[in-house]
Amino acid sequence: RERGVGWAVEQYERLRGSKVYASFDIDAVDPAFAPGTGTPEVGGLTSYDALALVRGLRGLDLVGFDLVEVAPQYDSPGQITALLAANLMFEFLSVVALGR
C-alpha cells in the first residue's frame, strides 16, 4: 500500500508476453467505497485506486477475469458496491476489447 497503485501497475510489465487471468476481490476496497462485502477491509483501496488497477491491465493478453466477494445484502441503500463492481466489470471488458 505504501508504494501505491502506480507501483503495482508497473509490476504488470513482468506479465507481458504471458496470458493473464485477473481476479479482483472487492473486499480489498475500503468499506467507505464498497460496504457490500462479507469481509470489509478498513484502510483498503479507494474506488479510484481499484479502477486504476484494472485500467492498468491494458496492453496485456487478458484471457479472463472475475470479480468476487460482492455481497448485496451488506450493500448501502445506494448500492455503491454494486455500482463499483459494475464499473470494474465494464473496465475489464474494455481492456479485453481494446486488446483485440
* pLDDT tens, per residue, the chain with 100 residues: 678 999 999 999 999 999 999 999 999 999 999 999 999 989 999 999 999 999 999 999 999 999 999 999 999 999 999 999 999 999 999 999 988 6
The DSSP H or E segment spanning 24 is strand 19-25
- Non-local (6+) Cβ contacts of 48 within 8 A are none
* Number of Cβ within a 10 Å radius of residue 62: 20
Q: What is the pTM of this model?
A: 0.91
Distance CA 60, CA 88 (A): 17
Q: Specify the amino acid at residue 91.
A: E
What torsion, rounded to 10 degrees, do the Cα atoms 23, 28, 30, 34 define? 40
Q: What is the pLDDT of residue 3?
A: 87
Supply the pLDDT for residue 31: 97
> What's residue 2's pLDDT?
79
